Amino acid sequence: MTRKVSMKLIETAIKEKWIRQLAFYHLLKYEFNNGCIYDYRHRMKEIADRLNISEKTLYNYLNFLRAKDLVCDHANNLKINSIRAYSGRIKTLIYMDDNNTLWDVCCLLYGKVIEKKARGMAFMESVRRFGTGDRFKRGFSENPFRPSLSYRTIAKILNVSEYKAVKVIQTLTRLQVIQTEKQKPIRVSEELPGLNSLEDLPGYRFNFNGQMFRQFGNLISFLQFPVSLKRITIKQYKKFNVR
């Protein structure tokens, strides 16, 4: 089932480090899709068991969401508020199902930020190719784009450690949101260059048997919401082309 999410809210939660509470909100809204939990104070154990969390965690998360005005009390019921006020004109979707855990939903939200980064990279690659005279095929889906993203870059945009970035990518792969392909190392030189030249080389660099290699991040394919190169206008090219 598709669920609407707010990119603005996701980015705020990542910056302020409450993405897990936001994932709980979406899981709660998925489980109780009528937007209201009746007589919820007498059903805390039932709700906690249904969401596979402890009652203490449930209390803490609900209090946090109240402070963010994402839920509120209405008589004896809990009303799950809409995120429409946060969405603006930018709307995005995630796919959820009955088997998703709280961690799975966290990763789905993280995945939207990775996807946004990929779309930005695809746009700039489209600008670059326009400048070189490359022509795209007519169909939008016939121009797929697979960005190269290292775990370090992913960790930076998600505001997490590299270890957690690896776990996020593994989970998104398991959920069939993305597919990754490891790139082969490229030999740079048979003799190690000086430190000054190393600083100018992109990618991860390492020495093997006296030879310098560099390796870029995994190539990522977005399976649910494919990323493609776009047709660029002259006006866009003049605005975004950076030499």
Domains of the chain: total: 2
162 burial level (CB within 10 Å; 0-12, 13-18, 19+): middle
Q: Are residues 42 and 68 in the same domain?
A: yes
Q: What is the pLDDT of residues 172-202, one digit of tens each?
A: 999 999 999 887 777 776 544 554 444 444 5
Question: Which one of 50, 83, 100 terminates a domain?
Answer: 100
Mean pLDDT of the chain: 85
Tokens (6 digits) for 91: 């709307």
**Is 27's pLDDT higher than 80?**
yes
236 and 116 in one domain?
Answer: yes
Is residue 160 included in any domain, yes or no?
Answer: yes
Q: What is the largest CA-CA distance in the chain?
A: 74
What's the N-to-C CA distance of the chain in angstroms? 44
**Quick one: 225 and 152 in the same domain?**
yes
Q: Are residues 52 and 21 in the same domain?
A: yes
H helix count then E strand count, the chain? 10, 11
Q: Which amino acid is at 6?
A: S
Q: Give the sign of the dihedral formed by CA 13, CA 14, CA 18, CA 23.
A: positive
DSSP 3-state of 208: strand
Are 25 and 88 members of one domain?
Answer: yes
Residue 7, amino acid = M
For the segment 105-143, what is each residue's pLDDT rounded down to a tens digit?
999 999 999 999 999 999 888 888 888 777 655 554 458
Same domain, 48 and 154: no
> Which tokens belong to 157?
């945009």
Q: And the tokens for 88?
A: 């603006």
Q: Is residue 93 part of a domain?
A: yes
Which of these three, 65, 100, 135, is where a domain ends? 100
Find the domain containing 74 and state its range: 2-100
Could you tell me the two tokens for 75? 């008589």
The answer on 139 and 36 residing in a single domain is: no
d(CA 88, CA 11): 14
Q: If you ran DSSP here, which 8-state letter would residue 184 be given?
A: P
How many CB atoms lie under 10 A from the CB of residue 71?
Answer: 23
pLDDT-based confidence at 162, cuts 50/70/90?
Answer: very high
84-95 confidence digits (pLDDT tens) = 877 666 678 999
Whether residue 40 lies inside any domain: the answer is yes
| Chain segment 199-217, per-residue pLDDT in tens | 444 556 667 677 777 767 7
CATH number at residue 9: 1.10.10
The answer to whether residue 202 is domain-embedded is no
pLDDT value for 201: 46
Pair 17, 34 in one domain: yes
Same domain? For 231 and 139 the reply is yes
Residues 87 and 171 in one domain: no
User: Does any domain span residue 205?
Assistant: no
Residue 233 falls within a domain, yes or no?
yes
236 and 130 in one domain?
Answer: yes
> What does residue 45 show for φ and ψ, rounded to 5 degrees?
-65, -40
Residue 170: pLDDT over 80: yes
| Residue 54 shares a structural domain with residue 94 | yes
